[in-house]
Amino acid sequence: MSLVEQFGPHLPFLRRYARALTGSQESGDSYIRASLTALAEDPSQVSDELPARQALYRFFHVIWGSTGARLERPGGAMTPETRLQALAPIERQAFLLTALEGFQVSEAATILGKTVQQVEELIAKAHTDIEDTLSTKVLIIEDEPVIAADLESLVEELGHEVTGNATTHTEAVAMARANPPGLILCDIQLADNSSGIEAAHEILEELDVPIIFITAFPERLLTGERPEPTYLIPKPFQENTVKAAIGQALFFHPSSESVAAE
């Protein structure tokens, strides 16, 4: 089987990986070009014992690892792209090969020339680093004390700081103004019959902040005018679902700190 037939079908995915890894398509493509040029000069360098996709990624890894792997300290707004670039290169690779490219840990280990245990540690480290960069201040808008306490403890478990627990629209707006949060967890029906959605709208007029609605009445959010950016979690909630939504909301939202610095 020719190399065109073996590797050609995997190139679109290698381009996706290279883009995420290097932070831009242009840069990603230039490393693929360098890899393929090296391959054209000496095709015996590539393993013919591995499945084609792994062999291709492994070859790319060797070229990128020796020339391109850098620890970036990006300035400006933190986007998902810049957050990835802030990871140590080998962690970034282990994380992207498994999370983005869907390789098994054992396959990622082969590609990176590491043991399974090393790759597992790298993935865990990447994840801790991502969560560290996402550490932020959280405002909880919730009028039921037990639920507010649950949310508070899970937010703190993730390493975030809770700035306060508002129980009404007015209180929520005042607290957000006094100590601007990087994330808001918001109930929809509040203590004095005021609306969490309206509170959220008012806060969003002044602050670019991701909001996660946690509600027993998700249909109210779906039918009404829905503030962006929002995430929606139905009550009763699973702790893990809330934790995952928090990670997601922060990873994909430009950090308010850098936005303010611009």
- Chain positions contacting another protein, by CB under 8 A: 2-4, 7-8, 11-13, 15-16, 19-20, 25, 29, 32-33, 36-37, 39-44, 80, 96, 98-100, 123-124, 127, 130, 239-241, 243-245, 247-248, 251-252
Report d(CA 76, CA 72) in Å as an integer. 12
How near is the Cβ of 66 to another protein at its closest, in Å?
Answer: 19
Query: Which DSSP state fits 225?
Result: P
Q: Which is nearer to another protein, 124 or 261 (CB)?
A: 124
In terms of CB distance, is 68 or 247 closer to another protein?
247
Residue closest to 212 by CA, chosen among 235, 178, 180, 179:
235
**DSSP label at residue 24:** S
| Residue recorded with tokens 């391109």 | 68
The CB-of-225 to another protein minimum distance in angstroms stands at 24
Residue 223 C-beta: closest distance to another protein, Å:
25
- Residue number with CB closer to another protein (56 or 209): 56
DSSP one-letter code for 162? E
| Closest approach of another protein to the CB of residue 110, in Å | 20
What is the closest distance, in whole angstroms, from the C-beta atom of residue 124 to another protein in the complex?
7
The residue among 13 and 189 lying less far from another protein, judged by its C-beta, is: 13
Q: Whole-number minimum distance, CB 200 to another protein, in Å?
A: 22
Name 215's bridge partners: 234
Closer Cβ to another protein, 36 or 214, answer by number: 36
Closest to 138 in 3D by CA, of 119, 124, 158: 158
260 C-beta neighbours (distance < 10 Å), count: 11
Q: How far apart are CA 140 and CA 185, in angstroms?
A: 5
Q: Which two tokens stand for residue 255?
A: 């950090």
Residue closer to another protein, measured from CB, 102 or 219: 102
Q: Which is nearer to another protein, 81 or 144 (CB)?
A: 81
C-alpha span between 141 and 164 (Å, rounded): 8
- Coil, strand, or helix at residue 187? coil
Cβ 205 to another protein shortest distance, Å: 26
3-state DSSP call for residue 50?
coil
With contact defined as beta carbons under 8 Å apart, do 166 and 212 qualify?
no
Q: Could you give the maximum distance between any two Cα atoms of the chain, in Å?
A: 74
